[in-house]
Amino acid sequence: MNFVALRMLTGDRAKYLGLIFAIAFSTFLLENQTSIFAGIMRRTGSQIEDVTDADVWVMDPATKYFEETKALKDTDLLRVRGVPGVEYAVRLFKAQPVARTSKGNFSAAVMLGVDDATLIGAPRKILLGSWERLREPDSVVLDQAGYNLLFPGEPLEIGRTLEMNDHLVRIVGISDASAPFASFPILHARYSEGLTFLGRERSQMSFVLARPKPGITPKELTRRIHDATGLKARTRNEFRWDCIHYYMENTGIPVNFGITISIALLIGLVVSGQTFYLFTVENLKQFGALKAIGVTNAGLIGMILLQALTVGFIGYSLGTGMAATFFEIFSHKMATRGIILMWETVVGVALLMLFVVIAASLLSIRRVLVLEPAAVFRG
What is the smallest separation between the CB atom of 349 and other proteins, expressed in angstroms?
Answer: 30
Q: Which stretch binds other proteins (CB under 8 A): 7-15, 25-33, 199-207, 214-222?
A: 7-15
Query: Which of 7/332 has CB closer to other proteins?
Result: 7
Residues 18-77 that bind other proteins (CB under 8 A): none
49, amino acid identity: E
Residues 102-131 that bind other proteins (CB under 8 A): none
State which residue, 202 or 378, has the beta carbon closest to other proteins. Answer: 378
| Binding to other proteins in span 124-183, by CB under 8 A | none
Shortest Cβ 22–other proteins spacing (Å): 21
Report the alpha-carbon distance of residue 3 to residue 10 in Å, rounded: 11
SS (H, E, C) 140-197: EEEEHHHHHHHCCCCCCCCCCEEEECCEEEEEEEEECCCCCCCCCCEEEEEHHHHHHH
When the beta carbons of 7 and 202 are compared against other proteins, the nearer one is: 7
Region of 3-11, 152-160, 312-320, 329-337 interacting with other proteins (CB under 8 A): 3-11
Stretch that binds other proteins, among 8-16, 182-190, 205-213, 217-225 (CB under 8 A): 8-16
- Window 349 to 378, contacts with other proteins (CB under 8 A): 372-374, 376-378
The one-character DSSP state at 88 is E
In the complex with other proteins, the residue whose CB is nearer, 4 or 309, is 4
Question: What minimum distance in Å lies between the beta carbon of 39 and other proteins?
Answer: 44
Q: Which of residues 251-310 bind other proteins (CB under 8 A)?
A: 285-286, 288-290, 292-297, 299
Count of residues of this chain found to bind other proteins when the rule CB under 8 A is applied:
27
Q: Which of 12, 67, 154, 327 is close enough to bind other proteins by CB under 8 A? A: 12
- Residues with Cβ within 8 Å of 84's Cβ and at least 6 positions away in sequence, in order, are 224
H/E run at residue 313: helix 297-330
Report how far apart the first and last C-alpha atoms of the chain are (Å, whole number).
Answer: 25
**C-alpha–C-alpha distance, residues 73 and 296, integer Å:** 78
Pick the closer one to other proteins by CB: 118 or 296: 296
CB under 8 Å to 50, separation ≥6 — which residues? 123, 177, 178
Q: 3-class secondary structure for 205-223?
A: CCEEEEEECCCCCHHHHHH
Distance between CA atoms of residues 236 and 221, nearest Å? 12
- Minimum gap (Å) between residue 362 Cβ and other proteins: 21
126 residue type, one letter: I
Identity at 113, one-letter amino acid code: G
Q: Please, which residue, 133 or 285, has the CB nearer to other proteins?
A: 285
Nearer to other proteins, 59 or 300 (CB): 300
Shortest distance, position 312 Cβ to other proteins, whole Å: 19
- Residue 316 CB, shortest distance to other proteins, in Å, is 23
User: Whole-angstrom Cα distance, residue 96 to residue 74?
Assistant: 20
| CA neighbor of 208 nearest in space, from 74, 59, 49 | 59
- Pick from 7, 202, 332, 333 the residue near other proteins by CB under 8 A: 7
Closest CA to 118 of 199, 51, 71: 51
Q: Which residues contact other proteins by CB under 8 A?
A: 1, 3-4, 7-8, 10-12, 285-286, 288-290, 292-297, 299, 372-374, 376-379
